[in-house]
Chains A and B, each alone.
Chain A
Amino acid sequence: LTNTSITDAQEMETIWTILPAIILISIALPSLRILYLTDEINDPSFTIKSIGHQWYWTYEYTDYGGLIFNSYMLPPLFLNPGDLRLLEVDNRVVLPIEAPVRMMITSQDVLHSWTIPTLGLKTDAVPGRLNQTVFTATRPGVYYGQCSEICGANHSFMPIVAELIP
């Protein structure tokens, strides 16, 4: 490590630091552009706000008038026979099928995550930030999901139920 013929090569070292940096930047910038180009273009016809609290969800339908309601999990004693324990809620999110729906998701206290796996949706609810996800469902039915970001004692007990109607 102290051989004099391998020390003091400042010029070479500068070149082989700067040149790869230039090469990598020239790879990265078009790549980022392509990444954003692959984002789909939708034109949502419907916007719903979903706000996570500890430990329930609030949905706001404010496109045409103001409808705001909370969605709590149904305790097991309140279930109808045949219902799914820990998944049923009192007020479901009712959405239309075959229409692009924009969900704006945020939180009022801690991190949550609004998820419906069968629709391929998972978006974190970050306090102080508005996240957006757009989807178009094709089949009617009832779709279940559960909060996917640890948010306290009842994190497992704040499900999401979407009722998609034609």
Chain B
Amino acid sequence: MLPKAAWSLVLGKGGRGRRGMHSSEGTARGGGKTPRYTNCYAQRHYPMPEEPFCTELNAEQQALKEKEKGSWTLLTHAEKVALYRLQFNETFAEMNRRSNEWKTVMGYVFFFFGFAALVIWWQRVYMFPPKPITLTDEWKAKQLQRMLDMKVNPVQGLASRWDYEKKQWKK
């Protein structure tokens, strides 16, 4: 009964919702840069807006505002909630709610991974020149044999790891 009356203050005419009552003042920033929000919307980085959320109050709401000027202990819980809803568009819990945006972002990221992979594959097939002859296995084997014969880096490097007596790599 009374809570319903209090809620009807918030919902205004026939459940049109809070949005129908918000202030349509100029778009002076509350603290953010986006022009979507006016200075009566609370945002996470600016939780105390300058203007109250609802400024066009109907008679019931004005009566409640008058009652607010008295002692607050006389307000019922529902009236307090109604006053909060008049002042702010969302509670902290609602304002800080999570969203599913991360799924969208990850979707885009993986999509571009796949696109990049496609581009790389296409490049390998159609654009890259043939590999030089020096990268074939037999050439590399002959090269290695030549380097060992030359005793390249005999102190700490390649030739130092080859056992010349046993003709194998040192264990």
Binding site for B on A (CB under 8 A): 76, 79, 81-85, 118, 139, 141-142
Contact = CB atoms under 8 A, between A and B. Distances in A.
B18 interface: no
B132 interface: yes
B153 A81 contact: no
Q: How large is the interface on B (under 10, 10 to 19, 20 to 34, 35 or more residues)?
A: 10 to 19
B150 A76 contact: no
A111 B114 CA distance: 45
A76 B151 CA distance: 23
Interface of B: 132-134, 138-139, 142-143, 145-146, 150-151, 153-154
A76 to B, nearest CB: 5
Given A118-B153, A141-B151, A82 B146 contact: yes
Given A118-B153, A141-B151, A142-B150, A82 B132 contact: no
A86 to B, nearest CB: 9
A83 B139 CA distance: 8
Contacts of A81: 138-139, 142
Contact of A85 (B134, B142, B150): B134
